[in-house]
Structure formats: C-alpha cells, structure tokens
Amino acid sequence: MRIPFEEVKATLKEILMGRNTPEPYAEEVAHVLAQNSLDGVYTHGINRFVALINSIELGSVLPTETACRVSGLGGYEIWDGRSGLGIVNARICTQRAIELAKTHGIACVSIRNSNHWLRGGTYGIMAAQAGMLGIIFTNARANMCAWGTMEHCLGNNPLVMAVPRKNGEHVIMDTSFSQYSYGKLQLAKLEGRTMPDPAGYDDEGNLSSDPTEVLRCKRLISMGKWKGSSIAMLLDLITSVSSFGYSSAAMAAMEGTDERACSQTFIIINPFALGEQEQADAIVDEALEMVLGATPVPGETVRYPGQAMLGIRKENTQLGIPVHEKVWNKILSLK
C-alpha cells in the first residue's frame, strides 16, 4: 500500500503527542521519519516508529527532554542528551556543529546519553545543505560479533559522510558496519525473505542467511571481516571518549534491550572558509565522472552514494510512500 507523505506525517505526529511529546518535537520527529521513508530508507523510517513508541512507553526515551551543552573549547563541545528523542538531539548537535564551523572552519560536537537517531543520513544531508563536509557517527548497544568471536560484543556503529554539491545532488554515505543492518534484517523478516549473503551466526555457530535466526541470536557479522570490526570498534571509542559517555560495552550492561544512552559525534568542516565553491565542485565532478563512466558489471548499475535518493523521493512524492500493511495497521492501533 502507498500513503501520502502528509498523511503519514500527521498520523505519526498525533501518536507522538498522545505520548506527551511537545508539539514542536512531535512535528520534527514525524517529519524526519516520514522523510526517511519518502527517500526510500524504509528500514529507518516508518518501520521503526513502533519501536520508538515502545521506548517512550518504557521510559528509555524522555520526549520532553532535549540536549544541553556541558562544556566546550573553541570548535569542540560536549553535550548531554538527557535521554531525549534521538532525532531532536542529533539535529540540535548537527546545527550547532555547523554554526561552530562557520566561525572556526572545523567543529566537533559530541553528545552523550542520547537515543537512537534513526537514519544517520538525515544529519549528513543537513551538513551538505549547509555547504559543509560532514563526518558523523554513533555507537550502539553491542549487537555485532567482533572479528574472530561468536558473541555480540561490538555495536555496528553507523558512519555517515557527506560532500556538498552546488546542484543539490550531494554525495551521502550512510552505513553501519554489520554485513546487514538490523533494519534491513527486520524488513527481510517481515517480507519473508532470506539475505543474499550470510548475515550472522545461528545458535550452533553456523553462518546463516536467515534474518529471523540471526535477529534472535543477535550474532551479526561485520562487513569486511576484521576491517569492518576494527572500524566499528574505533568509532565507538572515539565517540564515547570525546563525549565522556557510554561505550557499546557500557550500554550492553544496562537493563533492557532497547537502544538508549548512545554517544554520537558530529564533525563538520567548512571548506569554503579557505577555498572556493567552484574549485570544490570541479574536484567532486571529476571524481564522480570517472566512477560513473566506468564499465558496469553485467546486470549492475553504477551510481555514487546518495544518487538514487532524489529519484526515489520524487516517485514516492507522486505515488505515496510504500508501507507494509501490517506495519501501518500496527501504527494505527497506537492512536
């Protein structure tokens, strides 16, 4: 089924406000979640809304709280999320880092005690729309096996990188370091699909492509073997140390299973403090032309990260956002 953007947004906003979420925060969160699905990131849009409401009802997410500045030196600041809505906190920190980068050329804002930010690419798009380079990442509750283990002792710790383009067709990468994100596994489970490649281990220690089995065991494997595992570990350490917040290990020791008390880092670079837009555009265009002009593997399409988003957004704006009927009925039951 397909549902118009504004109907989706209004429905989510109404449900959030029914859980004591102030109207401005409910508007912001509903807009971002609907936008995520509009852009084709279904795993971190509407499909995650029920989990967010569950976290609010459990008291893990406090919808009336927002991030506050703890300390700072020059372009580096530490903030505390006070267990508020992850989307609201992440947007506050992104915007603060953008403002600091206008003054200092480069900025780093790290936040502790926040919550799941849903689609990390949202904040990369914010940076690119402001004409800034972005390097943004979060840690997560331990949900992935470190290389050489069969225990979930690392978070899959998503990383976002963004490069602006004057024409608005920004280069945006948003990836976690598990072979498949939890969102993609949950979507495959909902649709009754197996993954094309092994996603993790089953109870017997065998590699499995069955999303139901892997989700149950919480034994996701890292992408790129030891390389992905190492990057995930360092992202966790950098964000938790720079915010003096909780690491993936510390979150794993907390009661419950929902994603909370995350640490996140927003590094923003203002290239035009020292250079010209035209020169930057020429650099990016040359690199992209080389990739897009390469001979594709038979059956594959060559594109740069984020290129498909604008086309998907246009289609879903015209036809409505694709929503699984079971997911939408569950959301409507929350009213």
- For residue 187, the model assigns a pLDDT of 84
**pLDDT mean across residues, the chain:** 95
- Of 248, 243, 204, the closest CA to residue 222 belongs to 248
Q: How many CB atoms lie within 10 A of CB 333?
A: 9
- For residue 257, the model assigns a pLDDT of 74
Which are the catalytic amino acids? 44
Residues 6+ apart with CB under 8 A from 259: 55, 115, 116, 140, 141
Question: Using CA atoms, how far apart are residues 211 and 190, in angstroms rounded to an integer?
Answer: 9
In the CATH scheme, what is the code of domain 179-221?
3.30.60.50
Give the pairing type, strands 207-208 and 200-201: antiparallel
Residues of the chain with CATH 3.30.60.50: 179-221
Reported as type and span, the H/E element at residue 69 is: strand 68-73
pLDDT single digits (tens) 226-254? 999 999 999 999 999 999 999 999 999 99
pLDDT single digits (tens) 209-224? 999 999 888 899 999 9
Residues of the chain with CATH 3.30.1370.60: 65-177+224-274
Phi, psi at 172, each rounded to 5°: -130, 120
- For residue 184, the model assigns a pLDDT of 86
In the CATH scheme, what is the code of domain 1-64+309-335?
1.10.1530.10
**For the chain, which residues score pLDDT lower than 70?**
none
Question: Using CA atoms, how far apart are residues 9 and 162, in angstroms rounded to an integer?
Answer: 26
- For residue 83, the model assigns a pLDDT of 97
- Please state whether the predicted TM-score (pTM) of the whole model is above 0.85: yes
- For residue 182, the model assigns a pLDDT of 81
- 65-177+224-274: CATH topology is Ribosomal Protein S8; Chain: A, domain 1 (3.30.1370)
- For residue 309, the model assigns a pLDDT of 96
